[in-house]
Amino acid sequence: MKRTLPLVITFLSGVFIVVAFFIPHEPFGSLEQRMLVWLAILSGFTLLLGVDSLVKHHVRKISRKSKDTFYSIVTLVGFFGTLAAGIVTWAKYGTPLEFASLNEIGSFFWVYRWIMVPLQGTMFALLAFFIASAAYRAFRARTLDATLLLIAAILVMVGRVTMGVIPAVIALATLLIAAGIYRFFMRKPVFGAILVVIGAAVAVLLLIFPHDAVRLAPHVQEWIMSVPQTAARRGILIGVTLGVVAMSVRIILGIERTYLSST
Amino acid sequence: MKFVKWLTSVDRRIIFLLVILVVLVPMLITISIPFEVGEPAQNAFNAMDSLPPGSVVMFSVDYDATSYPECHPMIVAMTHHAFKKDLKIILVANIATGLPLGQEALERGAAEHGKEYGVDYVNLGYRPGMVAIMVGMGREIRDFYAQDYANANVDSLPVMQNVHNYDDIALLVSFAHGMQVETWIAYAGARFGQQIIGGVTGVVAPDLYPYLQSGQLVGLLGGLKGASEYESLINRKGLASRGMPAQSAAHILIILLIVIGSISEFIINAHSRRKK
């Protein structure tokens, strides 16, 4: 019963939602809406489960006095401090998100604006440093695939800058010529010659038409994004969607039962 | 050869220092460089600009502070554009921690354009259950948003008087740093024919090009460049326009680092091969 009942509920709900999609008239339409409201309510309860899990986890860590206890204390102080700020603002203004005027904000909004936003921003800003370092160390034109990927990446980046297009294109031409010469050393003269010719052509064109390079860069970027990138992305998308449909059918029919693993 | 070897194993703190410099210097000195507006951003602008005054647009805050530099200038620029065109704005959020950012953008825009809460714009707040809400709003918004963020009954707000479902919303703009735009397209666009614009981070933008080509997205703002394009279209320099020189400089630095790293490796490999 413990396994059968969830399977029956899943089957009936799944079949009903599919039917309601194709027959949106009464009573299916309003029943579907009712089920969607239930789903939204259930989603709210999952947030509570998350809060419960977070608090329990860190309380347990503090009680065990593990080596990361300090971070658990910071987490709990942050959590309950924000909660307190929200309750105080709610009591005072009727909503935690009070934004009475541009100069008067509630304590919850203050915590959000002056603590959470800078913290989240700082964490994400670190990415720039790691990407730059990783690009330098790992992004190398070692193979044909890597070279093509690199050229495409540089062209897309060049198309998204508003200044420095010419130095970037010079760098690209230099890379192409260097990669071509390297291929000669690796005894791949045909590919090497192709890269050298392309690199030289880019350099010569840049010398003759420097302004056109600046004008063309966004169009080249747009073409890469709209044609080869979109073609590949569309293929992936179709594959993923077919997989989702197959998995959904398996779940509705009770073939896929991993979501019941805890029972 | 010694120098080349040093280049391949350069201390990463030197790279970090270079990143700081190329980001800080362009931000400290004001640089204004004209650039061409891309078609996706132009289409987004046209879609908003062509709406008649009084039309209702829905802004969905699907980002948080992690994507503030890219997504926030978009919502700020579009808020000003919408208010300038006398459009009504309904704000919703699928990311709870992003909602205050959207609210702040609206409040600042409203103060500048003399718009009134409840009459010209409303903040319906955050509700959990993203997909259920997206589908359910096709039938009745009030089933999910009976009150606004401050618990006021939405029926008491003039802006919501004749707004019940997607039929009453002329345009939906999702400012997202994840897959929310695709979800809006699947549930609000495909099923109910809602016109959608995506305002997304540079990382997410490539994922949305197939929808742009198929017409399921009427416009797309991708990353800081997309935001700065929109700012230039509404003739209002903001956060994105100020940030573009720094981003451009960082891109150029990364390109140069890649080229230097690759060439150094070519030289070392060729040298060791010759030795053998």
Q: Which two tokens stand for residue B212?
A: 């742009």
In a domain, A211, yes or no: yes
In a domain, A260, yes or no: no
Q: Tens digit of pLDDT for each residue in A134-193?
A: 888 888 877 888 888 888 988 888 888 877 788 888 888 998 898 888 888 777 788 888
Chain A hits for B274, CB-CB cut-off 8 Å, are: 185
Q: Tens digit of pLDDT for each residue in A79-117?
A: 999 999 989 888 888 777 766 555 667 788 888 888 988
What average pLDDT does the segment B91-100 reach? 91
- HSE, CB side, 13 Å, CA atoms: give it for residue A121: 15
Q: Is the peptide bond before A24 cis (omega within 30 degrees of 0)?
A: no
DSSP single-letter state for residue B96 = G
Closest CA to A260 of A11, A73, A33: A11
Q: Tens digit of pLDDT for each residue in B60-69?
A: 999 998 999 8
Q: Are residues B222 and B259 in the same domain?
A: no
Containing domain of residue B251, as a range?
Answer: 2-30+247-275
- Residue A263: per-residue pLDDT: 47
Q: What CATH number did the domain enclosing B159 receive? A: 3.40.50
Q: Are residues A25 and A104 in the same domain?
A: yes
**Min distance B34 CA to chain A CA atoms (Å):** 7
In a domain, A19, yes or no: yes
- Residue B60: per-residue pLDDT: 96
Q: Answer whether B35 touches A (CB < 8 Å).
A: yes
pLDDT band, very low/low/confident/very high, at A213 (cuts 50, 70, 90): confident
Q: Are residues B22 and B97 in the same domain?
A: no
> pTM for the full model?
0.88
- Residue A1: per-residue pLDDT: 74
Q: Are residues B114 and B163 in the same domain?
A: yes
In a domain, B241, yes or no: no
Q: Which two tokens stand for residue B199?
A: 């305002």
Q: Answer whether A22 touches B (CB < 8 Å).
A: no
Closest CB to A175 among B36, B228, B259? B259
Measured between alpha carbons, how far is A138 from A197 in angstroms, rounded to an integer?
26
Q: Are residues B261 and B150 in the same domain?
A: no
Interface of B with A in 210-269 (CB under 8 A): 210, 212-213, 223, 225, 228, 244-245, 247-263, 265-266, 269
- Residue A188: per-residue pLDDT: 79
User: For residue B117, what are the CA distances in angstroms to A236, B75, B159, B160?
Assistant: 44, 17, 9, 11
Q: Are residues B154 and B259 in the same domain?
A: no
Answer yes or no: do A139 and B261 touch at CB < 8 A. Answer: yes
In a domain, B261, yes or no: yes
Closest CB to A140 among B136, B151, B262? B262
Q: Answer whether B14 touches A (CB < 8 Å).
A: no
Using CB atoms within 10 Å of the CB of residue B276, give its burial: 0 to 12 exposed, 13 to 18 middle, 19+ buried: exposed
Q: Are residues A30 and A109 in the same domain?
A: yes
pLDDT band, very low/low/confident/very high, at A258 (cuts 50, 70, 90): confident
In a domain, B111, yes or no: yes
- Residue A38: per-residue pLDDT: 93
Whole-number percent of chain B with pLDDT over 70:
100
What average pLDDT does the segment A199-226 reach? 87
Closest CB to A95 among B19, B31, B149? B149
Give backbone dihedrals phi and psi of A200, rounded to 5 degrees, phi first. -65, -40
Most B CBs within 10 A among A160, A184, A226, hence the mutation to make, goes to A160
pLDDT band, very low/low/confident/very high, at B11 (cuts 50, 70, 90): confident
Please determine, for residue A20, whether its predicted confidence score (pLDDT) is greater than 50.
yes
In a domain, A134, yes or no: no
Q: Tens digit of pLDDT for each residue in B104-118?
A: 899 999 999 999 999
Chain B CA closest to residue A96: B150
Higher pLDDT, B269 or B20: B20
Higher pLDDT, B2 or A80: A80
Answer yes or no: do B261 and A137 touch at CB < 8 A. Answer: yes
Higher pLDDT, A40 or B32: A40
Measured between alpha carbons, how far is A52 from B32 in angstroms, rounded to an integer?
51
Strands ordered across the beta sheet of B171-176: B121-126, B88-93, B56-62, B171-176, B196-200, B219-222
What average pLDDT does the segment B3-30 reach? 86
Q: Are residues A67 and A113 in the same domain?
A: yes
Whole-number percent of chain B with pLDDT over 90:
66
Whole-number percent of chain A with pLDDT over 70:
97
Query: Mean pLDDT score of chain A, rounded to an integer?
Result: 87
Answer yes or no: do B269 and A182 touch at CB < 8 A. Answer: yes
**Min distance A64 CA to chain B CA atoms (Å):** 31
Closest CB to B19 among A43, A128, A185? A128
Containing domain of residue A237, as a range?
Answer: 139-252
CA angle A162, A168, A173 (to 5 degrees): 145
Q: Are residues A240 and A178 in the same domain?
A: yes
What average pLDDT does the segment A193-217 reach? 87
Q: Are residues A121 and A172 in the same domain?
A: no
Sign of CA dihedral A113, A115, A121, A122: positive
Higher pLDDT, A65 or A250: A250
Please determine, for residue B98, whether its predicted confidence score (pLDDT) is greater than 60.
yes
In a domain, A124, yes or no: yes
Closest CB to B15 among A29, A133, A225? A133
Q: Are residues B140 and B74 in the same domain?
A: yes
Q: Strand B196-200 and strand B219-222: pairing? A: parallel
What average pLDDT does the segment B74-90 reach? 96
Chain B hits for A237, CB-CB cut-off 8 Å, are: 210
What average pLDDT does the segment B251-263 reach? 89
Closest CA to B70 of B192, B220, B260, B171: B220
Chain A CA closest to residue B8: A137
Contact status, residue B238 vs residue B214, Cβ threshold 8 Å: no
Query: Considering its fold, how many domains does chain A have in total?
Result: 2
Query: Considering its fold, how many domains does chain B have in total?
Result: 2
- Residue A73: per-residue pLDDT: 94
Q: Answer whether A262 touches B (CB < 8 Å).
A: no
Q: Are residues B55 and B168 in the same domain?
A: yes
In a domain, A222, yes or no: yes
